[in-house]
Each structure stands twice: as C-alpha cells, then as structure tokens.
Amino acid sequence: MEEGHKMAGRTPPSQVPKRRASDKRLVDDAIRSDSLVTEDEKLLQQPSPGADFTRTDPWRVLRITGEIIEGFDTLASVQKGVTIFGSARTSPEDPMYKAAEEVARLLAEAGFSIITGAGPGIMEAGNKGAHLAGGRSIGCNIELPFEQGANPYVDTLVRFRYFFVRKTMFIKYSVAFIIFPGGFGTLDELFEAITLIQTGKIYQFPVILFGRHYWAGLLRWLQTRVLAEKKISAGDIDLMILTDDPAEAAHAVISAYGAQEDTTIRRTAVPEAAS
C-alpha cells in the first residue's frame, strides 16, 4: 500500500502529519486494547481466561453483525457491480494500470458499477476508470496494522474490520471478478471465487484473469499438476477466462450478465396455476 501511494505521486498515509486531537477518529477502547492490533487478529486469538464480556467472542459477534448490516445498507443499491482485484504496488505508468482503467471505463459506460479494495495500484486504476466515465466507483477498505487511505477516485466508501465480511460484500454485490496481476490477497480472492463456482454457490459468474504472461505459469501448473493428478476436473480450468484485451474482458462481463438475468428470471418465475 505504501509503495502504491508513492508510485501514484501521493504521500503515504503513514507519512502524513498527525491530525489534531479534535480530528482523531473515535476508537472503542472497550474492544480494542491496542490500536496496532486489528479486529481480525483479536478475533483469531484465543480468549484470555476471565476476560470481561466486552473482550469476548460473543461480544465480537455483535460487532461483526453491525459491520455486515452497515455493508448491506451502504451497498444495497448496487445492481451491476464488477470487482477488480490486483496489486496495490502497480505504478500508474504500468501497462496493467492503464488496462485496468480502460476495462473499468468500458464497463462504467455500459452501466456497471466498479468495486475495488479502495487502495492504490490496480484498485486505484479501476476506481479512476469508473470515475472518469461517470460511473459509480465503490471502495471496500480494510483495517490493517498500518493506517491506509482510500484512493481519490472512490465515491462510495465502506470500511471493514473483518476480512471475511469484506469478502462477502465483494461476492454478494458483484456479477463478475476481473483479476489483474497481484499477490497473495489477489490469489485469495481468485481461488475463493473459483471454489464458490465449483461448489455451486454462485453461477454464471465470470472470473477473468487479465494478463496472459503473468497468469500463464499458474494455469500451466493447474493443468500439468493439479488436473493431471485428478485433484480437479477438466471443466474446472474453464471456469477462468484469460485475456490481454480490455474490450474482451468487458464483453465477457456484459454477456455473462445477460445470461445471469435470464437464469434469474427462469428460476424465480411462478408456474402458471393449473386450470
């Protein structure tokens, strides 16, 4: 994140002068013992013996519920969301940054909302493309051990403490994922989406890998090792679309959305009453 902000010509949040006391964000000290410890970390820790209720997992369930409700409430109006994933370290001069911006522009012009993790790099490119095209630009930010700011092209921002809540929002309000070159976080989102499709939790949900050269090694390993050893089925490889063309990526999303609408209508149609 820090490198991404530097490459975009902005001062990283960690280097911004501290705000005045009156400007500080309120922190719930009843649940947060250390400002550098994230809520995800505390959730995954073993509770200490004799901890009071405000430091226990049942209390955190209430916080998690509130976060889910806030996300649902803020994003309820999103009908045609497409989430763009990729590295926060991608420079604005990188061809992948420009490609992500172009994909987002094409989709925004077609009436789709663009969702990202709100950070720099590929996320910024996606939000920028949507913003410049007059589309809706959404950012789902996550609490990290270091403070991170949202990129300047986000018009709807939701902040999350818990990764799994944020990931639920990405899936729930998206009709497609476009995966640009990235690291562990990008791979995590990629394989979670593929798993949900493979297990029938979501359907007709395109997962587009952008950048043939970057993803070639991963796909080759999946074919020659995972598929060859029958850990997956042959059709599972086809759950991913590989492209280097922004227009092709946008077209795949638009076509899939039409198929999704047809399937939804078919599934929800009420059978005519027998005469």
DSSP state of 226: I
Residue 140 lies in a domain: yes
Residue 152 lies in a domain: yes
Number of domains in the chain: 1
Q: Residue 87: which CATH number?
A: 3.40.50.450
Rounded to the nearest angstrom, the gap between the alpha carbon of residue 16 and the centroid of all alpha carbons in its chain is 26
Burial 145-175 (b: 16+ CB within 10 A, else e): eeebbbbebbebebbbbbbebbbbbbbebbb
Distance CA 63, CA 65 (A): 5
Task: Give the pLDDT confidence of 223-269 residue by residue, as tens digits.
Answer: 999 999 999 999 999 999 999 999 999 999 999 998 777 777 777 77
Task: Give the pLDDT confidence of 11-55 residue by residue, as tens digits.
Answer: 777 777 665 555 555 544 444 444 467 776 776 676 666 656 556
Which residues have a Cβ under 8 Å from the Cβ of 166 and sit 6 or more positions away?
71, 117, 140, 142, 160
Which residues constitute the domain of residue 163? 79-268
Residue 33 lies in a domain: no
Distance CA 177, CA 33 (A): 36
Of 33 and 86, more confident: 86
Residue 146 lies in a domain: yes
